[in-house]
Each structure stands twice: as structure tokens, then as C-alpha cells.
Structure 1
Amino acid sequence: MPTGRRELREIYEAKNLAAVTEDLLSESEDLSTQLILRWHGMLLAGIRDDIAGRFRRGDEWVRVGGHLGANPAFVPELITGAVERFLADESMTLLERVAWFHCEFELIHPFVDGNGRIGRVLINKQLQDAGVPPLIVRARNRHSDYYPQLEEYSTRSSHDGMTRLLVLLVLESLHKRIALVTSRRVVALADWARAVGVSGASATNKARRQTIPAFRVRDRWMISEDFR
């Protein structure tokens, strides 16, 4: 794709994602296939109007890495079934259900384009409906933290890894909100580590495991200056 077109697409992607996020924050309707299609239409508007707001159909097969998405003929019923199970299944905890649904959604890969973006929006829709703050699946860490969990589901039908990832991201989101509201000052984790006599590598490892209340701001780990 020429540089100019790529930059234009990035502008549309940012603008459209902002519109979907605003709708998410103001929308109170239950998760449904219709809501998913509406948000996908908003997300792809001006980028791929020919496929925006509709599932794959006909010969629109998609492959991501070594994974082949579901047969287009079965996509609508598969997504409807996944939504119904998410809303009704009480055998799993909230984050287990969110992790399972996200893995199933990405395995089906219902759209020609935009599956990852709309899938991550739906995670925050499900969390918001349960009164849990939104999380960020950061682009910088997806290849090490996120994509392996989708691969685990694709090959082993296990969403345990995705559940663990979502737990860590929700904890980080909570730690960020608590620190920004209650702390006198938040500082870079590296500065905090020096002040308390902890190695930077050890502090970063603890932050990644969320055994200390650290959180990221623009990919930089931060923490309350007063935490001990």
C-alpha cells in the first residue's frame, strides 16, 4: 500500500475507533449480533465500505498465519451462538467468559477486515457491562503476550492463557485508577526502584506479574511514589 494511502487509513482508523469508543461509553444495550455489526460498520467506514457492517459471505475466506477462519456460510450462526453462550453460561467467572468469547470470536474471524480491533472493543463492552474498568491490549506486547493465547485456543481449545492475560490487564487498569486518584504523585517505575533499593529488572518483572501496583502510561511503567 502506498505511503499516502496507508497514512490516510491510519487517520480513518483512529477517528473511527474514537467514534466506536464514544458509542461504547454511552451505549447501554446488551451485547448482540446487531451491536457487533453496527460497530464494525462504524470501524470500517471510509476504509472498506464494501465490507463494513457485514459478516464474511460467499468465497470470502480469511487466513491469519496458519489459521483458516470459519466457513463464511456458518459465520452468522456461529457468532449468534457465541453471544448467546456468553450471556447465558454461568459455569465460568466473568473474565473466563470474556476470554472464551474473545478467543472464539477471533477463531471464527467473522469479518474480512477489522476482526482484532472489533474483538478488543467487545472485551471492554463486556467488562463495562459488569462494572469493570476497560483494559488495553497494547500493540507493543501483542506478539509476546496476546497472540500466543489465541494460538493456544486454536490448537488446544484452551482459553486459560487468555484468562490469565485479562486478569493481569484488569489488575493493571485498577491499579492505575487507584494510583491516579489516591496518590500524591506517580513516578517512573525505574525511579521508584532506585529509591527503594530494588533492581530495575526485578521491579519490571514484578510489574508484569502485577505483584506490585504498577501500570503503564504510553508503554512506560509507573507507580505511586509512596508505595512500599
Structure 2
Amino acid sequence: MTQSFRILKQIQALKERYCRLAVDKRALIKLLDETEVAEQVYNSNAIENSTLTLDETEKILMQIDLDRYINERELFGAKNLARVVAYINQKATEKELTLDNILFLHKMLISNIRDDIAGRFRNENEWVRVGTYMAPNPTEVLGLLKEMMVQYQTSDADNIIRRVAKLHLTFEHIHPFVDGNGRIGRVINNYALLRENYVPINIKFINRKEYYDAFQEFDQRGTTAIMQDIVGKALCQSFHKRLAYLEGKKIITLSEYAKQEKISHSNLLNKAKRQSIETFLEKGVWKIGV
């Protein structure tokens, strides 16, 4: 059994457990979604080279003064992305993922940062690059996005990992906006997942190298193996966290669990990273429900 197939079967089993428990516990799920907003904002912005720490991000969202000066771009970057994340958590199940909705999310994200480009795709002569990669000609953007949506809607509905990985990589390959492509691409992942009764994922800053490797793989070979691994493991973690709460388990750190069960912590850590045990990473700490 290949790693990707194992993860996919694992996710389907986790989804079944989650859906059975979620019916009568919507209030708890809403609370869990709300507690994750700051961490999602921190990780997504950090991938884009924001200098904000998780603690500073939390303070900004709670309107607590920081101990240092933060420029307006980073301030609105945190606040706006939090609004986008919250909006998707509330509305994704009600509205289909369309190009108009993507434009709406972008306007919400970029408002008060660059109003001249907020809520629109790249115009003629607005070329963008990421490192040495040059995004497609602006005149091709709309057509490529329409093709991306058709491919997503007609792809194998049973393999959510491959569908989301391909959607994300294709979107970032097109790079349809002047600014905000990465952050919008990552929230689109969650929009798509929530639409199909999965849970939102949080691509972590600590996995940035692997994340960038996934784009290089796609740009050079057109394959999605690395991104599938990232999405699959992130989905497992998200399900593991929610199930631990929904099943009323006690949440402890993995190091505490290792001491309690007299098991090698390094061995457990390796299993946690592979998601072969029901662990999740929260604020940089591996945890498990017991």
C-alpha cells in the first residue's frame, strides 16, 4: 500500500468518525474553528515573510497593543486574513467556490493595503514572479482560471487529497493576482474542503521548505506528490484534533504521553510526523488525546 493511498484511506475513516460525532456538537466545532484563526493567520502570513510572531498575531486580533512598532501592511494583513478565514468557516458550505467568490475573498484580504489591486485579477502588463518563476501572461489568467475550475469540478471526487493539491498548485502556478496569491490559495484549500464536508487545514510555516519544494515539483514535472503529502498529513492532524475534543478525550503533550506510557519520545515524534498515530501540532507542540 503506497503512502498516499494509506493516508487517503485513513482520512476517509477519520471523516466518517467526525461526521457521526459532529451532528450534535456544532457549537464545539465552531469554538474549535475560532480558536484556530490566529494560528492559521500566523502560519499563512509567515510563509509570505511576515515578521509577526504567533503571540503578536493573537494580540492584534484581540486588539491588544504590541511592544513594538508594526507597519500598516502587517497590521491589516493579519486583521484582513482573519476576516477571510472566519468568513470561509461560516459561508463555505452555503456558497459554491467560484471565480467571483475568489475575487471577493481577495478584496477582503487586500483592502487598506493596496486598494488599487484589491478584488481583481492581473491586468495587461502586470507581470509577477516568484523567485526565478515567471507567472503566465496577464492576458491568459482568466482563461487558465476557468480551466482550473473545470478540472477541479470534474476530477475524481473520491480522492480529496489529489483534488485539493492539484487545485492549489494550479492556482499558484497561474498567480492571478498582483499580490496575495499565496494567502488566497491557502484559504481556497479550506473553502474546497469545507464544501465537501472535510475540515480546514493549516499549512505550517515550519513546513515551508517542503511546501516550496511542492511548487518546484509541479512547475518542473507537473506532478503533485509532495503537495498531496502535505495536504494529507494536514487533514489527518485537523481531524485528530477535532476528534480528540468531540470524543471527550484529555489533551496532553506528546512528551507527557511518552512518560505516561513509558514509550520513546523520539519514536512517537517520528510517528506523529508521519501521522501514523492520532496526534496534532498546536502552537508548535505535538499533542494527543487520551
TM norm structure 1: 0.91
- Kindly provide the amino acid, as one letter, of the partner of residue 87 in structure 2: D
- Kindly provide the amino acid, as one letter, of the partner of residue 73 in structure 2: R
Number of equivalent positions = 222
- 2:225 matched to which residue of 1? 160
1:40 aligns with 2:106: yes
- 2:234 matched to which residue of 1? 169
> Can you list the C-alpha shifts for 1:63-100, whole angstroms capped at 9, x where unaligned?
11221111111001111110121112237722211110
Q: What are the within-5 Å matches in structure 2 for residues 6-17 of structure 1?
A: 7-17=71-81
- Structure 1 residue 51 displacement after superposition: 0.9
Query: How far apart, CA to CA, are the structure 2 residues paired with 1:83 and 1:182?
Result: 36
Q: What are the within-5 Å matches in structure 2 for residues 1-228 of structure 1?
A: 7-27=71-91, 28-90=94-156, 93-143=159-209, 145-224=210-289, 226=290
Comparing 188-197 with 66-75, which one deviates more in the overlay?
Answer: 188-197
- Kindly provide the amino acid, as one letter, of the partner of residue 51 in structure 1: I
Query: How far apart, CA to CA, are the structure 1 residues paired with 2:249 and 2:206?
Result: 29
- Kindly provide the amino acid, as one letter, of the partner of residue 69 in structure 1: A
Query: How far apart, CA to CA, are the structure 1 residues paired with 2:160 and 2:240?
Result: 19
Structure 1: 5+ residue stretches without partners: none
Query: How far apart, CA to CA, are the structure 2 residues paired with 1:22 and 1:91?
Result: 26
Residue pair 2:203, 2:230 contacting (<8 A) in 1 also: no
1:219/1:209 CA distance change after superposition, 3 Å = same
SS at match of 2:266: helix
Query: How far apart, CA to CA, are the structure 1 residues paired with 2:155 and 2:71?
Result: 42
SS at match of 1:55: coil
1:7/1:201 CA distance change after superposition, 3 Å = farther
Query: How far apart, CA to CA, are the structure 2 residues paired with 1:164 and 1:6?
Result: 35
Question: What's the C-alpha RMSD, in Å, of the aligned pairs?
Answer: 1.8
TM norm structure 2: 0.73
Higher relative contact order (CA 8 A, sep 6+): 2
SS at match of 1:48: coil
Comparing 177-186 with 163-172, which one deviates more in the overlay?
Answer: 177-186
Query: How far apart, CA to CA, are the structure 2 residues paired with 1:167 and 1:180?
Result: 21
Structure 2: 5+ residue stretches without partners: 1-50, 52-67
1:46/1:76 CA distance change after superposition, 3 Å = same
1:45/1:187 CA distance change after superposition, 3 Å = same
Query: How far apart, CA to CA, are the structure 2 residues paired with 1:130 and 1:99?
Result: 15
Query: How far apart, CA to CA, are the structure 2 residues paired with 1:170 and 1:70?
Result: 30
Residue pair 2:129, 2:135 contacting (<8 A) in 1 also: yes
> Can you list the C-alpha shifts for 1:127-172, whole angstroms capped at 9, x where unaligned?
00000010100122212x3111111111110012211211111111
Of all paired residues, the percent bearing the same amino acid is 37
SS at match of 2:277: coil
SS at match of 1:117: helix
